[in-house]
Structure 1
Amino acid sequence: MAPEPLQAPITPIDAPTTGTISIVQNRDLIELDGVVEAVRVADHGGSPAVEADFVDGTGQLRLVWLGRQKIAGICEGVGIHIEGRVGDCSGVRTVFNPRYVLTSPSDD
């Protein structure tokens, strides 16, 4: 009988961090729920970008969608579920082009 080849167990190296912003580190792949606190259009390398401050009661992240001037549904007070990778942009924890699902309407 031939010996079976050794195979290491498969573990997800890039499993998303879920929970709260307070435990998020740079380079983490995240999946979080929170609220958009503020929205603005900014310039990133000569192109427009929608920036949103995302909070969950334990901290804050900046969300940036590059090449956009407006995103339907993204407004102050809206609940949102996001997925993406955290980076550092000028000392601010930032997620560029996060995937998102609106979870509640704004209070407007």
Structure 2
Amino acid sequence: MTTEERTGFRGFLSRLTATDSELDAEKLQRDSAKCGAVPAGACHRGQIVSVSGRLRTVAYTPRTNLPTLEADLYDGSDVVTLVFLGRRSIVGIEPGRQLTARGRIAIRDDRKVIYNPYYELEAPR
């Protein structure tokens, strides 16, 4: 058996025994790599990146001076929180939606954050 055949067989077995969430994470990572995005797990503070994935949660956070919409973008490797300052809602920004966001990574409460990112929504599937 060649190395390629063994790798294929091992890959088959790992997919067969993987959980749905593990398979979903692998698919998100493949899709993210196809569009040229940086994996969220490899992003560092101060770096300007393009990240692509699925929105897990979207929450309006009322602040005393400034309303804030926060959305957690998961790409299969890590989560980046997208923070839209001064917004209560944005059409199309909803849980389960695929998008690509661009901006500078910041760290807030040990979480990766992009403030007011540029974003592109993918067509709903």
TM (norm. structure 1) is 0.77
Question: Identity over the aligned pairs, expressed in percent?
Answer: 27
The residue that corresponds to 1:94 in the other structure is: 113
Q: Please, which runs of 5 or more residues in structure 2 have no aligned partner?
A: 1-35
8 Å Cα contact 1:49/1:66 also seen in 2 = yes
Once the two structures are TM-superposed, the CA of residue 47 in structure 1 deviates from its matched residue by 1.0
Pick closer, same or farther for the CA change 1:86–1:44 going to 2, 3 Å.
Answer: farther
- Whether 2:69 is the aligned partner of 1:50: answer yes
Once the two structures are TM-superposed, the CA of residue 68 in structure 1 deviates from its matched residue by 0.4
The residue that corresponds to 1:66 in the other structure is: 85
Pick closer, same or farther for the CA change 1:45–1:62 going to 2, 3 Å.
Answer: farther
- 1:27 corresponds to which letter in structure 2? G
The residue that corresponds to 1:4 in the other structure is: none
TM (norm. structure 2) is 0.67
Offset from partner CA, 1:15-65 (integer Å, 9 cap, x none): xx9421111011110012111100000134621111000000000011000
Report runs of 4+ in structure 1 exceeding 6 Å deviation.
Answer: none
Q: Describe the SS at the equivalent of 1:84.
A: strand
RMSD: 1.7
Higher Cα Rg, which structure: 1
